[in-house]
Chain A
Amino acid sequence: MNVKEWIEKVENEGAYDSVAELLEKIEKSKLNAFIIVTKEIALKQAELYDKGEVKGKLAGIPVAIKDNISTKGIRTTCASKILHDYIPPFDAHVVERLKEEGAIIIGKTNMDEFAMGTTTETSFYGVVRNPHDLDRVAGGSSGGSAAAVAADETVLALGSDTGGSIRCPASFCGIYGLKPTYGLVSRYGLIAYANSLEQIGPMASSIEDLALLLEVIAGKDWRDSTNVGKDFKFVELEKNFKVGVIKEMRANEDIQQFFDEFINSLRKIAEVEYVSLPSIKYALPAYYVIAMSEASSNLARYDGVRYGYALDTLDSWNRYFSKVRAEGFGIEVKRRIMMGSYALSAGYYGRYYLKALKVRTLVKNDFERALSKFDVLISPTMPSVAFKIGELTDPVTMYKADINTTPVNLAGLPALSMPIGFVKKLPVGLQIIGNYFEENLILNFARMVENEVQFGEVA
C-alpha cells in the first residue's frame, strides 16, 4: 500500500482504526519482520492525527524503523543478544525528522545481527520470511523493513545499506529501496558497522514514496561529521537518458536472460550502451576487507560495562570483556570482527587493508569515468532471486551474493533497486546507479522505466 492509498483509507476509516488494523496484521503475521512493535506509541499518534493535532509531510503515515537506528525510550537491539535490553537515551537524526514530520512509528524491524548478512539468518530473533514465498529469505540485512513494506505491514520503512542491505531485500521482496549518496543523510544514531560505507535510506512501495521519505531524512546535521549538509527535493524531469549497462555486473542464467530482454525493451525509450568497469572484479574482496576492518574497530565498544549484555559478576577486564563478547555476539559478527582484526594486524595491514583502500580508489575512478559518459548505470540488483532459508551455509558463498551491490558503497554513490518483474514467481530487481547527489535523476529514470517499459515474467 502506498502513501496515497493509505491517506485515502485514513480519510474513510480514520487513522486510529487503520493503524489498529495494521497492528493486528503484524501480530498475526508469519514473516517475523518486526523485533519490536510500538503499539501504544502508534495508536496514540494515530489518535492525535484524528483530532487534527498532527502536521507534517508524513502526518498519519506509518513508518517502520530498522532496529539499528536509535529510538529514544524504545529498545534498539541491532538483532543482537548483546543489545537485547538496550534502550537508547536519544533519537537518531532520522527519527527526530520522522517525528517532526508527524509520522506514526509502528515498530523496529528485524535484520541481520549488526547488519552483517544478506539473508537476516544471522538475526538473534530468527529469519525474516519472504512474503512471496515463506520458505525463502526476505534478503538482508534490512529484511524486516522490506518484508513489512511488501506485505503491507507498514507503508514506509527505513533501512540502512553498508554493502547492499537496502537494495538486496528490496530486490528479493519486490519493493523500492534507495541507498543515498554517502553524506546525504546523517548517520547520527545509526549504530555503526562500517561507517565509511553505510547510509540510512528509504524503502517503500512506490517511487514517489521513496522520494517523499528521502526529502524528510536528507539534510544538514552537525552531529555527523561526514554529513554534507545538502537537502533533497524531488523534481519531475523530462529527459533523454543515456544509460550504461555495466558489463561486469551479471546474474545467474534465468535472471540474466530476463535482464537482457529488459535491456531490449529499454532501448525503445533510452540510449543504451554497454560499459566496462574492470576494477569491479576486485571490489568484493576489497569491500569485505574494509567492512570487516571497520567492524572490528566499531564493535570494540561492546564491553558489557556502559550498556548491553553484562555478566552478573565483574571479573578481571580481559576475562570479563572476552566472555561478554563471546556470549553476546553471534557467529557471523565474531567472524567479521576477528577477520577485521587480522586484516589490520601487524604484518597484514599493507597487504589487505591498505590494498583494499587502493582498490577502492580504482573502483571510484572507474565509476566516475563511466558516469561522465552516462546519466545512469544499470545492472541486476542481485545475481539471483531470494534464497531458500538455509540455502547458504558457507560464509564466502554468502558474501558473493553482494557482488553487484558492494562496489556502489565503495564509491559512495547513490543507487536504487526497483522491481521489474518476476522469475519463477519471485521478484527481480533493477539496480540504478547515479552520480554523486543525483538521486533526483535516478528517481526520474526509475519513474520513466516504470511508466514506459513492459515488465516481463519468466515461468
Chain B
Amino acid sequence: MIDENVVRYVANLSKIEVSEEEVEIFKRDFKKIIEFFNQLDEVEADVEPTYHVLPLKNVFREDIPGKCLDREEALMNAKHKEDGYFKGPRVVE
C-alpha cells in the first residue's frame, strides 16, 4: 500500500528531498505505477532471469598503463575544491 510514509521512505532511499506538495503528487503517481507493475503478478515465469541479453564473458586486456584525466581536467566541473582535491559535504553529523 502506497501512503505518505512509503513515499518518504523511498525519497530517503533515493536521496531526494520532497516537499509536502510533492509527497501528495508522488503518492498519486506511485499508486498508478505500482498498479501497472502489478500486472507482473499474473505471469508464471519458471525460467532463469536475464540480466544481460548477450552471453558475454569476462573481457581481459593487457595490463598496460594508459592516459588518465589529469588533475585539472578531473576537477574542472567541481564547484567545491581545495588544494587539488574535491571538497565534499561532512559525512559525520
Contact = CB atoms under 8 A, between A and B. Distances in A.
B88 A361 contact: no
Interface string A175-213: 000000011000000000000100000000000000000
Nearest to A400: B36
Contacts of A325: 14-17
Contact of A362 (B45, B52, B53, B76): B45
Interface in B16-43: 16-18, 22, 25-26, 29-30, 32-37, 39-43
Given A364-B53, A412-B53, A342 B43 contact: no
A61 B11 CA distance: 46
Given A89-B76, A314-B87, A317-B89, A342 B30 contact: yes
Contacts of B37: 285, 288-289, 343, 352
A365 B47 CA distance: 10
Given A358-B47, A362-B43, A411 B17 contact: no
Contacts of B73: 89
A252 interface: no
Residue from A351, A358, A394, A395 with most neighbouring chain B CB atoms (10 Å): A358
Nearest to A365: B47
Contacts of B51: 196, 357
A228 B77 contact: no
5 contacts: A222-B59, A325-B14, A335-B29, A351-B40, A358-B45
A396 interface: yes
B56 to A, nearest CB: 6
Given A317-B91, A325-B17, A86 B49 contact: no
A322 B76 contact: no
The 5 closest A-B pairs by CB, nearest first: A412-B53, A357-B49, A307-B77, A358-B45, A310-B79
Query: How many B residues are at the interface, by size bracket?
Result: 35 or more
B69 interface: yes
Contacts of B32: 394-396
Residue from A89, A282, A319, A335 with most neighbouring chain B CB atoms (10 Å): A89
Given A87-B76, A314-B88, A282 B39 contact: yes
A111 interface: no
B16 A322 contact: yes
Interface of B: 6-7, 10-18, 22, 25-26, 29-30, 32-37, 39-43, 45, 47-54, 56, 59, 61, 69, 73-74, 76-80, 86-91, 93
B41 A182 contact: no
B17 A322 contact: yes
A225 B35 CA distance: 35
B90 A316 contact: yes
B66 to A, nearest CB: 10
Given A321-B15, A340-B14, A357-B50, 8 more contacts: A288-B37, A289-B37, A306-B86, A321-B89, A338-B13, A339-B30, A396-B35, A412-B53
Contacts of A352: 37, 40
A352 B54 CA distance: 22
B86 to A, nearest CB: 6
A361 B80 contact: no
Contacts of A436: 54
Contacts of A182: 53-54
Nearest to A320: B89
Contacts of A331: 25
A307 B39 contact: no
